[in-house]
Structure 1
């Protein structure tokens, strides 16, 4: 990637996970380029904002008319090794080092990590029942895709031509025996209560 005007080149992967598996599974990701704009000491630190300028994301002032999403949490390392994003995160940006000699504060180090993002304006796919976001949470709806797997969909009619909801997660508990009736599906969740109890719709 060519960098002009002293702008730092970083590679970012935007993740809007809509698939979950009873036994878990790897998230789907779509790679995007990110350009650093110089706001703050940490690239996309908590409470900083990004634009959605094609072909990638750019860090911008949250007061800018180009600001589209705010960082609600930021962690170093890979998602699989770090804390889960907050429940109502709309999407995740995975940030990786591209040119370590050129970075936000000139110390020669660009930390790899991920930023949990919340859009500044609706729609919010991370909200309960909205049909998206990187986590399955209480209130979300699901449909079966075969092989013991389910995917998230919007509770209201499956969204814009999306699949119709077959289940809804009604509770998050520590173990299956704590699920309320009539639970018919158990979904792996993040957090201290890892079992999602889903009822048929």
Structure 2
């Protein structure tokens, strides 16, 4: 995500933010993507026999090393729950809910049987929430596909900032915290030192030094 400090004399500069999304299994790794949209994740594969729709809302998945599979939420293998599910490409669809922990990208497949009998599972993405802590998508958690109020960032060089855990336990210590979200930069308080593009109806994040 690109960021610039606030300028004196009311000359406010835009912050171009490349938000991150990562499949989280006890760590938070960053990768570039469009602000406010799910970015890269891990491909999910469909086993037969679970649910009418593959990874529908409120269904659960296991954790895997190269792929995730749908499992009953009562299974000891269940690790995360679907909190939103969309067809198509993430770049063309709605953003995941603010406290999403990670995003699963579902590749289009044509198994012998599927949820509607047409022999195909359409391409889409599932917004996932871990069944147990940690929740990197929570404010200050240091991860998730979106930057939200309460999150912290650090300077990553070349005019970029990246999200990190506010408790200082991440790979990098926090330097700024997003304290509010407003419609435009001029609505940020005078104490704002950094502007972060969040997307949505209040797309500007006002950040202060930690």
Shorter-chain TM band: 0.7 to 0.9
Residues 19-168 of structure 1 correspond to what in structure 2 (within 5 A)? Answer: 24=35, 29=40, 31-99=42-110, 102-157=113-168, 159-160=169-170, 162-168=171-177
Separation in 2, partners of 1:128, 1:57: 25
Separation in 1, partners of 2:188, 2:138: 22
Question: Which structure's residues are more often strand, by fraction?
Answer: 1
Separation in 2, partners of 1:19, 1:36: 29
Which of 180, 196, 200 is the matching residue for 2:189?
Answer: 180
Separation in 2, partners of 1:27, 1:40: 24
SS of structure 1 residue aligned to 2:154: strand
SS of structure 1 residue aligned to 2:191: coil
Which residue of the partner structure matches residue 191 of structure 1?
200
CA contact (8 A) 2:195 2:205 kept: yes
Question: Once the 2 structures are TM-superposed, how far is the Cα of residue 102 of structure 1 from its aligned partner?
Answer: 4.3
Q: Deviations over 1:35-63 (max 9, x none)?
A: 32422221100000001134421100111
Q: Which has the higher contact order (CA 8 A, sep 6+)?
A: 2
- The total of aligned residue pairs comes to 185
Which residue of the partner structure matches residue 13 of structure 2?
none
| RMSD over aligned Cα atoms | 2.4
Separation in 1, partners of 2:96, 2:38: 13
Question: Once the 2 structures are TM-superposed, how far is the Cα of residue 104 of structure 1 from its aligned partner?
Answer: 3.3
Q: Please identify, of 189-198 and 125-134, the stretch whose mean Cα deviation from structure 2 is larger.
A: 189-198
CA contact (8 A) 2:43 2:106 kept: no
CA contact (8 A) 1:37 1:59 kept: no
CA contact (8 A) 1:15 1:27 kept: no
User: What TM-score, normalized by structure 2, do the two folds share?
Assistant: 0.79
Would the alpha carbon gap of residues 127 and 142 (structure 1) be closer, same or farther in structure 2, given more than 3 Å must change? same
CA contact (8 A) 2:87 2:124 kept: yes
Would the alpha carbon gap of residues 132 and 20 (structure 1) be closer, same or farther in structure 2, given more than 3 Å must change? same
Which of 146, 150, 170 is the matching residue for 2:179?
Answer: 170
Q: Please identify, of 31-40 and 73-82, the stretch whose mean Cα deviation from structure 2 is larger.
A: 31-40
Separation in 1, partners of 2:100, 2:50: 22
